[in-house]
Amino acid sequence: MATTTDQPSPEALNPDMDLLRFATAGSVDDGKSTLIGRLLLDSKAIFEDQLEAVEATSQDKGYDYTDLALLTDGLRSEREQGITIDVAYRYFATPRRKFIIADTPGHAQYTRNMVTGASTADLGIVLVDARQGLTEQSRRHAVLLSLLRVPHLVLAVNKMDLVDFSQEVFDKIHAEFTAFATKLSVPDLEVIPISALQGDNVVHRSENMPWYQGSSLMHHLENVHVASDRDLVDVRFPVQYVVRPKSDEHHDYRGYGGQVAGGILKPGDEVIVLPSGMTSKIAGIDLFDKEIDKAFPPMSVTVRLEDDLDVSRGDMIARVKNAPTPSQDIDAMVCWMINEPLRPRQKLAIKHTTRTGRALVKDIQYRMDVNTLHRDLETTELGLNEIGRVQFRTTVPLLCDPYAKNRSTGSFILIDETTGVTVGAGMING
């Protein structure tokens, strides 16, 4: 182990390695932070002085074990209450893959934090306490992950050591959750019995559960296939920055920097720039200081065109015969994030990919109860942490896709123009 207090940055990790973003969710005290601490410890992704500090704090609290949750519960209020409030991000890597973890809060009043943490996740882990079984919050988090279109879901049945590693207990929870998941959009579901505190089936297979023939959680995380989850058909390249070095070496260089949101870009491809509708061909694609022969999600690259077109931040490069239809009427599911409710006729700033504008709330069609999936058609507003279907009219056309098709071009955030605070997040229906 290293002996420095500096955290390894994701940039320091091998960029050629596969990346998996995953989020943890579950009820309070189900062991989310402890699970992440165990993953970090057993994969040797923490430093000696970090472990020593956690061991010392555990002793000071009078624990007879090392509280691995202290590795992620960084806020003082979290440590005092033993719960997760904010979204804690952690980075680590194994020889097979690198990971970004979002440890999201379990409380219902922090739904907005969970939506933030899970919005970019490739995989979601829902923890349940084997003693308690499925709870209302367990179902709530599964619904939210389904609503956010997280393509892979793992139900981790934790604290199996406290039920004597009972197969009967595990099978009951497995069957109940599988039946519930049939009501949701869950393309891939895995159910794994674990003990985060003792390490059973977290990184290494457990000898205490010989009846379980599946993989450990880490093995599943290392091998789950996520490349096909991204849209590799519909080319979407939101322009973030116009690159003009203006140096003697690159006197005539003009490129367009951004992150590929969909499809595969290659030199020679005929493309259209939206919303202007001008067409050209890709002259080249640059990654740092080298030219590459193709770019795909989620690579950040610079695209050069054969023609000198008027392209600026907020524009989008797409295929001529497969481009999004610009629209100023937006129908979306919205998670509201502040105390002041969202009401019809309200005006907000909207940010979609790299494009910004203003939006007027035309109508709130219903509020969804994420515990029961019931739609309240009588609602006239959305309150803090509530989710509902909202219709907007924007001042600029958005170059968007349905969220179910492309999570990058199908999502947006809402901003209070006075304070600059993000007040809502939306997922476009169509």
Q: Which residue has the higher pLDDT, 62 or 300?
A: 300
Q: For the segment 322-372, what is each residue's pLDDT rounded down to a tens digit?
A: 999 899 999 999 999 889 999 999 999 999 999 999 999 999 999 998 777
List alpha helices for 84-241, DSSP H: 111-118, 136-147, 167-181, 217-223
| CA atoms of 406 and 408, how far apart (whole Å) | 5
Task: Supply the pLDDT for residue 82.
Answer: 40
Q: For the segment 359-393, what is each residue's pLDDT rounded down to a tens digit?
A: 999 999 999 987 778 899 999 999 988 899 999 99
Share of the chain above pLDDT 70, in %: 82
Q: Which residue has the higher pLDDT, 411 or 143?
A: 411
Q: For the segment 182-196, what is each residue's pLDDT rounded down to a tens digit?
A: 888 888 999 999 998
Task: Supply the pLDDT for residue 208.
Answer: 95
Task: Supply the pLDDT for residue 35.
Answer: 84
pLDDT of residue 11 exceeding 80: no
What letter represents residue 29's amino acid? D
| CA atoms of 298 and 264, how far apart (whole Å) | 10
Query: What average pLDDT does the segment 250-258 reach?
Result: 85
Tokens of 211: 């009846």
Task: Supply the pLDDT for residue 102.
Answer: 81
| CA atoms of 216 and 221, how far apart (whole Å) | 9
- 257, 301 in Cβ contact below 8 A? yes
pLDDT of residue 1 exceeding 70: no
The interaxial angle of helices 136-147 and 167-181, nearest 10 deg, is 40
Q: Strand (E) positions, 73-113?
A: 88-93, 97-103
pLDDT of residue 83 exceeding 70: no
3-state secondary structure 110-151: HHHHHHHHHCCCCEEEEEEECCCCCCHHHHHHHHHHHHCCCC
pLDDT of residue 78 exceeding 60: no
Phi and psi at 219, nearest 5°, equal -60, -40
Q: What is the mean pLDDT of the chain?
A: 84
Which DSSP string corresponds to 290-321?
A: EEES-B-TT-EEEEEESS-----TT-EEEETT
- Cα angle 218-75-130, degrees, rounded to a multiple of 5: 45
Please, which pLDDT band fits residue 16 given cuts at 50, 70 and 90?
very low
- 189, 123 in Cβ contact below 8 A? no
| CA atoms of 410 and 148, how far apart (whole Å) | 11
pLDDT of residue 68 exceeding 80: no
Which residue, chain included where needed, has tokens 């940010």? 351
- 275, 315 in Cβ contact below 8 A? yes
Query: What average pLDDT does the segment 201-213 reach?
Result: 93
Query: What average pLDDT does the segment 291-320 reach?
Result: 94
pLDDT of residue 163 exceeding 60: yes
Please, which pLDDT band fits residue 137 given cuts at 50, 70 and 90?
confident
Read off the pTM. 0.80
